[in-house]
Structure 1
Amino acid sequence: MELSTKGDGTQDLWSDPALVDAYLEMRAREYEDRLTWGDHDEADVEPPALPPASLEDELREAENAVRASRLMSAAQDEMFHGVLLRAAADTVPWLGPDPTLDPAWIPPRGESIAAVRARRRSLAVRSAAADLSLRLHVSENHVRTRAHRAEVLKRRCPAVWAAYRDGSVPEQNAATIAELAASLPADPEIWQAFDEGVAGPAQELSLGRLRRRARALRERIHPESIDERHARAAEDRAAWFDYDVDGMGTILVSAPAAKVKAIEERVEDNARHLAAQPDEQRTLPQLRADVACDLLLTGDLGLGVTSTVRVTVPVMTLLGHSDEPATLDGVGPIDRDTARRLAGGATSWIRVLTDPISGTVLSVDRTTRRVPRDLQRLLGVLYPTCTFPGCLRPAHRCDIDHRTRWTDGGATSADNLGPLCPHHHPLKDETRWSVVPNGTGTLTWTSPTGVVTATDPPPF
C-alpha cells in the first residue's frame, strides 16, 4: 500500500478513515506473519523484528528516537560552527601562507593589512563551507545557517544552547530562538533577559506557541521602538516567485503585517463564502488559492464580501501619550502609525478594560442583548486562538466549546467556554483527551497516555 501525498507535501493517510482502515489491516497481517515466522521455509532469511511489547514501550522508543535526533542536530550545528571558526582563525589550510606576515610584503591597490586579513578570513570561511557542502551533499547556505545558529545560541542564549545540546529542545525551536536572538541589539543584559525568558518554553511548547511567546518577549525587552524597527524593516519588503513540478508555482510576499493580515482575511472570507454555495465543489484550500489568484489578476471578485481586521490599540497610544505598541490579532505588535490608520477607518469599536500592570482582562462592553455575542467577544480576548496545545487557529475561526457539556449540566459561561478548532474539537469530545481550567487563566490538557500540558496564556 502506498501513501498518497497532499499538495503541501504532507501525507494524508491519517486524515482519511478509509485509508486508515486499509493501512491498519495491512499492518495487522504483517504482524501475524511475524508471529508465525517460525513456520517459514526459508530459514536463511532473517525474520522482521517484532514491535515493542506494549504501547508504553513504543511511545518510549519514539521519545528516545526524537531525543537522539535532537542531540545529533545540536552536534551538527556545533561541528559546522567549529569548522568555520577554525577556518577564520587559521586561513592557511584554505588559502596558503599569509603574505601579511612578511615584513617586506606590500598590500596591493593600497589596501591595509587589516583589510587583506579580513578578506582572507571571509574567503577561508566560504571555502570551508563549500568543502563541507561537497562532503555532505548539502548546500553551503545549509552549512552556514547551522553554524550561525550555534554561534548565536552559544553567545546570546547559553541556557537554550545547553538544553538544545542535551536533547531537550527541538531543532525548529532552537532555530526560531536563534533567529530572534540575532535580531536583538548587541547588549549582554538584553541577551540574558531573552535567554532566561525562552529557555523553559523552548523545552515545553510547540513551534507555533514558542514563536508567539518569544516574539512577545523580544518586543518587551527591545530598547528600540517598534515604529523605528518597522520603518527599517519595511525597506526590505519584496516578492518572490518560484515554479514547482507539475506545472505549479509559488508566490511569497514579505510586506507590512497589517497589509498581509488584511489580504489573509479577505482571501479567507471570500473562500468561505464560496464554499457555502450549494453548487460549489472545490475544497477550502483550493478556493483560497483561486481567490488569491483572482484578486491578484483582476483586483475584485464581485462577491460583496467584507472582511474584518482586528487590532487592539491602547487608548493612550491612540492619543499619542504612550509608545506602547498596538496588537494585530493573529500577528502581534505593529507600529503606531499603522494602528492609528486602522483605528481611524474603523466602523465600530469594542472597549476592553485591562489591568494596567498585568494586562488581565477586567471587563468587556456588553452593548448588545444577545449573550452569546458578548461571550464570544470576551472569549476572543481571553483565548485569541484555539485552546488546544500548540494550535494557532484564530478564535473567530473556531467552534465555541462547552468544556462540561450542556447535556451534562455545563453552563454557557466564560468559565465553561473556550474556542476549539474543528480539527481539535472532536479530540476533546470523542477521545480520551481531557481539559480542565487550572485557576490561573490557562488550561491543563491531559492526553490519553497521561501526558499533561498546560496551555500558555496569550502573549500579546
Structure 2
Amino acid sequence: MDRGIAQLMDPETASLRSAERKIRQAQAQQIRQILTYVSRVENRSAVEDGSSHLTSAPLPPGAPDAPVEARRAAVLHAAQALQASEHYVGELVAAASLAQERLPRTWDSFCQGRIGVQHLLQMARSSLTLLSPENVALLDQRGCAYAEEHTPGELAAWLRRFIAAREPEAAARRNQEAQRERRVSVTHLEDGVSLLTALLPTVTAEQIRRRLNAVARSPQQAIPHDPSVVPEAAGAEDPSSTGPDLPASRGAGDTRTLEQRTADLLAGWLLSGRGAQERPADVSVGLLVPLETLSGDAEAPALSRDRSFTLPAQVVRRLLGHSGTRVTWYELGVRNAEALGSDTQDPDVLSVRYRGRFVPKILREAIRFRDGTCQAPGCQVPAENCDIDHQRPWRDSGRDGAGGQTEGQNLWTLCRRHHLLKTAGHLPPPTDRSAAPATGRPSAMPTAVRAAA
C-alpha cells in the first residue's frame, strides 16, 4: 500500500478477491453489450435518416436531431432491460465511451476486472474536467494505477488533488464559479424531519464542522435540547419533559449521541442568532501550503491535512491575509530520519525520540500532517479524529531497545474502531514506514489556519 500500511491480506480472502474480479468482468461485458446495442441503434437511425433526406425536404428548424433521439431511445430500452434508471444507464454509456476514446489504460483495466464501475465513472468524469490532452494521458496512467489499489472513496480524493495540482488556474476559476452558487435549502422528508443543506466555501464549511464537533464532544458543555424533540424516556403525553429538567451536558448525564448533540447545537445557534456560551474550542483547519504559493511565485493549491480537499492559491493567500484569521505555523519537514546529518541544527520533528509514553503536541501535529487519515487500509477518518497509536506498544520499549518508542517511525494515526482491531491483533502494523506516501504530499510547509473567534 502507498502509505506503508500492512495490507489485510488474509489468505482465506483470496476466493473473495477472485469472485469480485469475475463479477467486475461480467459487469464490463454487460457494458460492452450496452455500447454495442446503442451503437447499432444509432447506426440504423443514421442510415434511415440519410435515406429520408434523399426523398424529402430538409427538416424545419427545431426538429428533433435523429441521432441524438436514437441514442436516448437506446438508453431508455437498455434501462428497461436492466431494470435501472435512464440516468444511470446514460452515465454508464457516456463513461464507457469516454474511457474507450480517452482513457485506454483505464478501459482495459476495467475490462480485466482490476477496477470497478465506480472507479470507471470517476475516472471518466475527471477526464472531462482536465483541459490538457497531456494531463488526460497522465490521468489515465497514474489514476488507473491508483484505482487498482484503492477504494472509490480514496480515488475520489486522489482525483481532486490531481486535477487541482495539474491545472491550478482552471481549478481556481471553477472554485470562483462554484462559490457563486452558495445557498441554503430545506427539503421536507417523511416522519416529521427535514434536510437542511448549505452549499458553502470549503474552508467555511470545515470551520463550522470542526466548531460543532469540538463543542458537542465536550463533557462539560451544556447544549440545550431541541424543544421540538420528544425524549425517548418521555411519552408523547408528557411534552413538558423537553424543558430545562433534562441534563444538557455529558457530565450531568446527557444521553444524546454525538450526532444528536451536534444537531441540537446547530439548531440552537441558528435560532438564537448568537453563539452559545461554550468553552473555547480548537477549530483549526490544517493546510499543507507550498512556500512558493505563499510568496506568490507559484499557483500550486494547498492541500487539507486529511487530503480530502484542495484550495486554490489565491483563496489561501486571501484567507491568510484576512484580519480575522489567526495563524499558527508549523514548519515540519517530513523526511527519513537517516537523511538527516548529525550536524542538523533544526532536526525533523518526526526523527526525534521522546521519553515517556505520551506524545507531545508538536509531534502529534506532525503525525497528523504526515498521515492525513486513519492508516488502516481504505479508512478515511481524518487524522484529527484518530488516536495516535504506538505501532509497537510503548511497554516494549525497554525490552530490546529497538521498538516501542515515542517517535515518528513508531507512531501512526488510527481511528478508534481500527485502534481496537490493532490492539486485538487483527491489524498488523507496517514493516516499513520509510516509504513516502503516494497521497500526493507536496514539498511544503504545513500551516494550521485557525478560525476567527
For Structure 1 versus Structure 2, the TM-score category normalised by the shorter chain is 0.7 to 0.9
In structure 2, distance between residues paired with 1:267 and 1:202:
34
CA 297–169 in structure 1, closer or farther in 2 if over 3 Å, else same:
farther
| Residue in structure 2 matched with residue 218 of structure 1 by the alignment | 163
Which amino acid in 2 is paired with 1:349? T
* Two-structure CA RMSD over aligned residues (Å): 3.3
Which amino acid in 2 is paired with 1:211? A
| Residue in structure 1 matched with residue 53 of structure 2 by the alignment | 101
Retained in 1: the 8 A contact 2:46–2:67? Answer: no
CA 175–459 in structure 1, closer or farther in 2 if over 3 Å, else same:
farther
Which amino acid in 2 is paired with 1:381? F
In structure 2, distance between residues paired with 1:397 and 1:105:
69
Q: Which string of whole-angstrom CA distances, capped at 9 and with x for unpartnered residues, describes residues 180-239 of structure 1?
A: 222112x43221111110122211112232222232222332274432231233344455
Retained in 1: the 8 A contact 2:109–2:115? Answer: yes
CA 336–243 in structure 1, closer or farther in 2 if over 3 Å, else same:
same
| Residue in structure 1 matched with residue 127 of structure 2 by the alignment | 181
| Residue in structure 2 matched with residue 31 of structure 1 by the alignment | none
CA 106–152 in structure 1, closer or farther in 2 if over 3 Å, else same:
closer
Retained in 1: the 8 A contact 2:105–2:141? Answer: yes
Is there any run of 5+ residues in structure 1 with no aligned partner, and where?
1-54, 443-454
Q: Select the residue among 420, 430, 439 that pairs with 1:436.
A: 430
- 1:205 paired to 2:150: yes
| Residue in structure 2 matched with residue 265 of structure 1 by the alignment | 210
Q: Secondary structure at the match of 2:388?
A: strand
| Residue in structure 2 matched with residue 194 of structure 1 by the alignment | 139
Q: Select the residue among 384, 391, 395 that pairs with 2:383.
A: 395
Q: Select the residue among 267, 276, 279 that pairs with 1:302.
A: 276
CA 195–124 in structure 1, closer or farther in 2 if over 3 Å, else same:
same
- 1:382 CA drift (Å): 1.3
| Residue in structure 1 matched with residue 97 of structure 2 by the alignment | 151
In structure 2, distance between residues paired with 1:414 and 1:371:
10
- Aligned-pair identity in percent equals 25
Determine which structure has greater relative contact order: mean sequence separation of CA pairs < 8 Å that are 6+ residues apart, divided by chain length: 2
- 1:376 CA drift (Å): 0.7
- 1:329 paired to 2:305: yes
- 1:247 CA drift (Å): 3.6
| Residues 10-409 of structure 1 mapped to structure 2, 5 A cutoff | 59-91=13-45, 97-98=49-50, 101-102=53-54, 104-109=56-61, 119-185=65-131, 187-222=132-167, 224-237=169-182, 241-273=186-218, 276-304=250-278, 305-306=280-281, 307-330=283-306, 331-344=308-321, 345-354=324-333, 363=348, 372-409=360-397
Q: Secondary structure at the match of 1:349?
A: strand
Which amino acid in 1 is paired with 2:16? A
Q: How many residues align?
A: 379
- 1:129 CA drift (Å): 1.7
Retained in 2: the 8 A contact 1:212–1:459? Answer: no
Which amino acid in 1 is paired with 2:286? R
CA 151–407 in structure 1, closer or farther in 2 if over 3 Å, else same:
same
TM-score for both structures, normalised by structure 1: 0.72
Retained in 1: the 8 A contact 2:374–2:413? Answer: yes
Q: Which string of whole-angstrom CA distances, capped at 9 and with x for unpartnered residues, describes residues 413-453 of structure 1?
A: 112111111111011111232112425345xxxxxxxxxxx
CA 75–182 in structure 1, closer or farther in 2 if over 3 Å, else same:
farther
Q: Which string of whole-angstrom CA distances, capped at 9 and with x for unpartnered residues, describes residues 316-363 of structure 1?
A: 32333321222233333212332123323332322325489xxx9974
Q: Which string of whole-angstrom CA distances, capped at 9 and with x for unpartnered residues, describes residues 362-394 of structure 1?
A: 74699xxx9711111211221111111111111
Is there any run of 5+ residues in structure 2 with no aligned partner, and where?
1-9, 222-248, 341-346, 353-357, 398-403, 443-453
CA 213–106 in structure 1, closer or farther in 2 if over 3 Å, else same:
closer
In structure 1, distance between residues paired with 2:11 and 2:296:
58
In structure 2, distance between residues paired with 1:382 and 1:56:
30
